[in-house]
Amino acid sequence: METNSELGKQQRKSKATKQRIFHAAKKILQEQGYESLSLKNICKEAGVSNGSFYHHFDSKEDLLSFYIEEQPVIDANLLEIPSSADETKETIILVYLNYAAYCRELGARFIENYYTPKNQALNPTKRTERSYPIVTVRSYLENAIAANVIVPSLAIEEITTDIRMLIIGNVFEWCLRPEVVDFEGNIRRSLGQYLKNIF
């Protein structure tokens, strides 16, 4: 029978292996690009077997979606039902400013290789249940609408699609010129203007 300390040790080892696989993929993306991000290269870089990889991740896309879990956590109190439309807008902007900070932490090289049409982790129809910013925002909007805090002029699906495309455009612009683009300022301005026109 396994003791709690043995279980804890196994869980820590498993978590460390999962992190090692993720960091191996991150290094490959940063240094070699998406084309080199094969299962073979990831396992070689991480020093793990294919079996170990599949113990932690279902696929390469599942691994790539894992990076979203690593972003700084949003204060749950901010995501409670807002008291006004202005508070709703500001909170949505803060979610994406948080995401921009994480993009900066990962670096433009990682992000430019992550945001490729080949990365099916970005496909909203194939997305996992991980806490993508747009999933957080959608839930927040649904709660604000249900509480009659906001009455948007578009359906929620249209709003979340528009926001996703707006953010991808901002990310792309930042990746082109990371040293000069005001990433956070552009997100605040473009997303703020869009939300102002919606509710």
Give pLDDT tens digits for 41-80. 999 999 999 999 999 998 888 888 777 767 777 776 778 8
* Closest to 159 measured CA to CA, from 99, 108, 92, 109: 92
Question: At 154, is the pLDDT very low, low, confident or very high (cuts 50, 70, 90)?
Answer: very high
Q: Which of the pair, 114 or 183, is modelled with greater confidence?
A: 183
Pair of tokens at residue 176:
């082109």
Whether the per-residue pLDDT at 22 is higher than 80: the answer is yes
Q: Which of the pair, 85 or 12, is modelled with greater confidence?
A: 85
Pair of tokens at residue 82:
């807002």
Pair of tokens at residue 139:
């839930």
H/E stretch holding 37: none
**What does the mean pLDDT of the chain come to?**
89
Phi-psi region of 148 (alpha: psi -120 to 50; beta: other; left: phi over 0): left
Report residue 35 CA to chain centroid gap.
21
Mean pLDDT on 8-25: 89
Question: At 3, is the pLDDT very low, low, confident or very high (cuts 50, 70, 90)?
Answer: low
Give the phi and the psi of residue 78 in degrees, each rounded to 5: -65, -25
Position 1 scores a pLDDT of 52
Residue-wise over 169-184: b if at least 16 C-beta within 10 A, else e? Answer: ebbeebbeebeeeebb
The amino acid present at 25, given as its one-letter code, is: A
Percentage of the chain beyond pLDDT 90 is 60
Whether the per-residue pLDDT at 11 is higher than 80: the answer is yes
Give the phi and the psi of residue 50 in degrees, each rounded to 5: -60, -40
In the DSSP assignment, the letter for residue 151 is: -
Mean pLDDT on 87-98: 96
